[in-house]
A and B are shown apart, each in its own frame.
Chain A
């Protein structure tokens, strides 16, 4: 399967700070998806991106589909404690996932 490289692996931030994470691939994707997983639960879809260059927001979350179709980033603004969890990117072509970014928010 295609490889997705997600970074950073983990982040420790203070409440109120902004967060940025990204995924890159050596292959082109038609769709990028961003998920959040709480401990012991299934991932929940946050944002779906369908067009190169597309920038989509969902509340404090913003994600972009890279122009080259090989990368995507997710930003979280003004983080709050409930943002804690693991964030995954996924490329639609074959539904492979990045390794995840573990976010810890200190109150």
Chain B
């Protein structure tokens, strides 16, 4: 079945450590996105990538980094520079162009920094 996978579902890290969250899709989608969600809040865009080897900052990119070396993969690194990293992280993808630009989401990774 096609879809978006994020792993792990729950992640715990010590303060000051970098951590990388995985996002893989087999939908052949061109664009991929990372969002952050805090309790009771909406989704805030961290980074997005419309094409391999290219990505753009979203609204809250500070303290995060991404790479897009393969179409299927868009890992997010939460660096020690991110002041408040504990949150629910959601990855999404869309097929760029055309009339049908529905965005599909992965199941999310809940990161807790101790």
Contact = CB atoms under 8 A, between A and B. Distances in A.
Interface of A: 1, 6, 31, 33, 35, 40-45, 48, 50, 88, 90, 92, 94-100, 102
Interface string B71-114: 00000000000000000101010100001111111111010000
B59 interface: yes
Contact of B104 (A45, A92, A97, A99): A45
Contact of A43 (B40, B58, B105, B110): B105
Nearest to A4: B42
B90 to A, nearest CB: 5
Given A40-B108, A40-B110, A43-B90, A50 B43 contact: no
Interface residues of B, number: 27
Contacts of B6: 42
Question: Which 5 A-B residue pairs are closest in the complex by CB-CB distance?
Answer: A42-B105, A99-B42, A97-B43, A100-B42, A42-B108
B103 A1 contact: no
B106 A31 contact: no
Nearest to B56: A94
21 contacts: A1-B45, A33-B103, A35-B105, A40-B110, A42-B90, A42-B105, A43-B43, A43-B90, A43-B105, A45-B102, A45-B103, A48-B102, A50-B99, A88-B42, A88-B43, A95-B33, A95-B45, A95-B92, A96-B45, A97-B43, A102-B40
